[in-house]
Amino acid sequence: MQEGFVVQMEKINKRFPGVNALEDVDLNVKYGETLALMGENGAGKSTLMKVLTGLYKADSGKLVIDGNVVTDYSINRAIESGISMIYQELSPVKNLTVAENIFLGREPFKVKNILLDYNKLFQNTEQLLKKLNINEVSAADSMMNLTVAKMQMVEIAKAVSYNSKVIIMDEPTSSISEEECNKLFNIINDLKEKHNISFIFISHKLDEVYKIADRIVVLRDGKSIGTWNINELSQNDLIKYMVGREITQLYPKQDAEIGDIKLSVKNLNVKGLLKNISFDLHQGEILGFSGLIGAGRTELAETLFGLHKIDSGTIQIDGKDVIIKTPKDALKQGIAYLTEDRRSTGCFLNQNIRENLMAPNWKMSKKGGKIDYGTVSKLCGSAVKDFAIKTPSLNTLIESLSGGNQQKVLVARWLMGLPSIIIVDEPTRGIDVGSKSEIHRLFSQLAQQGHSIIMISSELPEVMGMSDRIAIMHEGTITGILDRHEADQETILSYASGLLNQYE
């Protein structure tokens, strides 16, 4: 194992108009280590990594890679120096195959630049995937049909194929189940020990960080707070350093009065997606939905929200049959849906915060048939305050907000219409500990106030901590519904992989 530091960042400064993103930040990465980069949303983690990958030019500071002081840094120099990054928000080329995505720009040619060698391309890709033990995707799969988790795996394969010395992973496990996460960690440890590759791991999932990291560095408000060996820092202390205050409970699900059946789904069938789905949702209840990737949870949510055609089955709200054919129907019935992928189906990226908050809510602001901007300001102002959304103004474009703040805007958007049934799909994916706790507390409050919540989550601690009951899906059907007290990780996993089934 090589000694010393593969990357040394010293006193990095980066300013944007109106904000000091990074102030004298230090970061060191040893050869063959996994360094966890921790901090709340807006702490500067993404910015720091963008400096390391050459996307941003630091205003001042020193960068040393592999013992060489770096001057004239750029994206290409970064790649040449062995730095690569897997982003939190994936952007694959959807029209192309897995192989073409991995080797984009580096395809093997029979005649250079003129005749692509497709056989070699697919062969190389298959070899790479085999080496990393990735069985879920094959070289010829179209990127368009892949789930988020599978796209992540392709990204990892791509980064490894660049013979990187340092691979930065930004929230890589946000939407990967625990089983796939363990696989991923095996791959990382493998690459670390056998190939001396280092990893910078950015994640808000503390359990995973403690599983995989060797050292932890904490940023807060653009400054480096400190670096610790993993065994020298307790989770509580880590959180304290990250937020600067104590967080008493991560999953504060308080007991709420569970009332009558609010939503009743019977024998719901959607061709190719859902088979015989039946469950009840009570008032004041949080019903968690667990399952592996591809189990059909998002498809169920989409169906309840009018995005898929129902072949057979009934949906009842308050005991009455309802027909939901479009999102508008669902909204009228008091159902709100916070989608899984905020970038592609949630945010209006080139619009400001006001537009993003108001998109389904304009009717609420109308006085005398026309939109009243005074009411709009009030509604948006309350939303920003209630959800502690960090933004200089309502006119700020949402794409300049951090991921966690964007998510808060979306949560605020959907709650503004005071829905009685709230479906949330991976609500705290890629969100810092502080905001996560806030959002969980919020859902807890909503349940206490009588709202009914369906919470889809791949984070077992979250599902187990927040749900009153947990429904587990497997390949388009529900295999079991467990009470909070009888659920443990192994049981849930058994139902999720189809080993157990209450209905067979």
Partner 1 sequence: MEKTEKTSKSGISFLKKLNQKAGIIVILLIMCIILSIVTNNFLTSRNLINILRQISFYCIIGLGSMMVIVTCGIDMSPGSIVGVISVVTALNGVTGKGNVFLWFVLAIVVGAIFGAANGILVAYPGLPAFIVTLGTQIIGRGIALLITDGHPITGLNENLLFLGAGKVGPIPMPVIIMAILCLITWYVLRYTSFGRYIYAIGSNEQAAKISGINTKLVKMFVYVYAGILASIAGMVLTGRVASGQPALGEGYEVYSIAGAVIGGAALSGGVGTVYGVVVGSLVIGVLNNGMDLLGVSSYWQKIAQGSIIILAVLFDYLRKRNKQ
Task: Note the residues at the interface with partner 1 (CB under 8 A).
Answer: 305, 307, 326-328, 330-331, 337, 339, 344-351, 355, 358-360, 362-363, 366, 370-371, 393, 395
Min separation Cβ 283 and partner 1, Å: 23
For 15-51, the DSSP string reads EETTEEEEEEEEEEEETT-EEEEE--TTSSHHHHHHH
If the CB atoms of residues 320 and 370 are measured against partner 1, the closer one turns out to be 370
The radius of gyration of the chain from alpha carbons, rounded to an integer in Å, stands at 24
Closest approach, Cβ 403 to partner 1, in A, equals 16
Cα separation, 254 vs 484, in Å, equals 13
Nearer to partner 1, 331 or 422 (CB): 331
Question: Cβ closer to partner 1: 285 or 425?
Answer: 425
| CA–CA dist 369, 430 (Å, integer) | 40
Q: At its nearest, how many Å lie between partner 1 and the CB of residue 344? A: 7
Cα separation values, 303 from 215, 308, 458, Å: 44, 5, 19
Report the C-alpha gap between 216 and 45 in whole angstroms.
13
Q: Which of 216, 155, 167 is nearest to 191 (CA)?
A: 167
Token duo for residue 87: 């982003």
- Nearer to partner 1 (CB atom), residue 48 or residue 472: 48
Q: Are 424 and 435 in contact (CB under 8 A)?
A: no
> Whole-number minimum distance, CB 381 to partner 1, in Å?
10
β-pairing, 370-371 with 477-483? unpaired
Nearer to partner 1, 29 or 454 (CB): 454
| Residue 225 CB neighbour total at 10 angstroms | 16
Is residue 410 a contact partner of residue 356, using CB atoms and an 8 Å limit?
A: yes
Q: Which is nearer to partner 1, 145 or 393 (CB)?
A: 393
337 versus 443: smaller Cβ distance to partner 1: 337
CB of 339 to partner 1, least distance (A): 6
**Closer residue to partner 1, CB minimum distance, 95 or 127:** 95
Residue 194 neighbours by CB under 8 Å, 6+ apart: none
Given the structure tokens 């480096």, which residue do they identify?
224
